[in-house]
Copies of this chain bind each other. A is one copy, B any other.
Amino acid sequence: MDVGSRRSQRQRSAGPNKGEAREAQILDVTERLLLTTPFADMTMDEIASQAGISRSAMYFYFASKEDLLSALLTRTHGDIVRPSATLLNTGVAADRAIYQVLEAILVNWRQHGPALRTFLETALASPGFGDRWRTLVNENIDVMAEFIDRKRAAGHLPAGPPSARAVSSALFWMVEHEMYELFRSRHNRAAEAELVETLTLVWQRAVGVK
């Protein structure tokens, strides 16, 4: 049950990397289809025909429907983790850092809204995928927790309890769910801005800045 593709590593041919291309194409098709159809309502047949292959050929690339989504998660992984990670390792002040992280998360939702939505939904639907998703979210939680701990040690934020980790976890899941609710339906930029504003303030107060 290895996640992702199951083709050989060595690329040896002229019609070069036909497989790689197909796999990427399938992921593209899936994410595009996600714009109009919930993942659960989407059949392997639908994806396959959009990609111009037969349904059973899909199983050459992905062991299951869930595995396909898992591959999409892998592909998006970087985009999700990178922003906070880089940002929080600069010397920004806590209040500004919080705002910027929230902005970065918003940007992600703008770019990958349907995918992120699906990730959360599927995380609650199937334990295997849920583990993967939680692992990823935890990366972000940890980065923020360490940031808080550093600021606490430097005397810029009040010490716990609660532990930085506990606060960070609660706040991140709050953001996750609120973004989910917002992007679940049609909405405008104003609503996005208002949400970020609210979340920023809750975060700042919760960690003790301002």
Check: A177 CB closer than 8 A to any chain B CB: yes
In the complex formed, the residue of B with least CB distance to A120 is B124
For the complex, give the distance between the alpha carbons of A120 and B120 in Å.
Answer: 11
A121 within 8 A of B: yes
Collect the chain B residues with CB atoms within 8 Å of residue A38's CB.
127
**A71 in contact (CB, < 8 A):** no
* Copies of this chain in its oligomeric complex: 2
Contact of A206 among B120, B177, B181, B205 (CB under 8 A): B205
Binds B, one of A105-113, A144-152, A191-199: A191-199
From A38, A124, A194, A199, residue with most partner B Cβ within 10 Å = A124
Contact A202 B198 (CB under 8 A): no
Interface size class of A (residues with CB under 8 A): 20 to 34
Find residues 111-130 in chain A having any chain B CB closer than 8 Å to their own CB: 120-121, 124-127
* A208 interface contact, C-beta 8 A: yes
A159 within 8 A of B: no
Say yes or no: is A92 at the interface (Cβ < 8 Å to chain B): no
Known: A166-B195, A171-B202, A206-B206. 19 other contacts (CB 8 A): A38-B127, A125-B125, A161-B197, A162-B194, A162-B202, A166-B194, A170-B174, A170-B178, A170-B199, A173-B173, A173-B177, A173-B178, A174-B174, A174-B177, A176-B177, A202-B202, A202-B206, A205-B205, A205-B206
